[in-house]
Amino acid sequence: MSKNHEFYWRRFHSLLGIIPVGLFLLVHFSINFTATQGVEAYNNAAGMMELIPHWLLLIVEWVVIYIPLLFHGLYGVYIAFTATNNVQRFGTFRNWMFVLQRFTGIFLVVFIAWHIFQTRIQKALGAEVNFDMMAEIVANPLMLAFYIVGILAATFHLSNGIWSFLVSWGITQSPKSQKVATYVTMVFFVVFSVAFVAAILAFV
Please give the Cα distance from 19 to 107 (Å, whole number). Answer: 21
Please check if 157 is assigned to a binding site: yes
Residue 115 assigned ligand-binding role? yes
Distance CA 196, CA 199 (A): 5
Contact between 129 and 119 under an 8 Å Cβ cutoff? The reply is yes
The reply, when asked if residue 72 is annotated as ligand binding, is: yes
Rg (CA), the chain: 18
DSSP symbols for 63-124: IIIIHHHHHHHHHHHHHHHHSPP-TTTT--HHHHHHHHHHHHHHHHHHHHHHHHIIIIIHHH
Question: For residue 70, what are the contacts with CB-CB under 8 A and spacing of at least 6?
Answer: none
Instruction: Give every CB contact of residue 95 below 8 A, 6+ residues apart in sequence.
Output: 85, 86, 87
13 is in an annotated binding site: no
Q: At what angle do helices 3-18 and 141-168 cross, to 10 degrees?
A: 120
CA 185 to chain centre: 14
- Tell me the binding residues for heme: 28, 72, 115, 157
Annotated binding-site residues read 28, 72, 115, 157
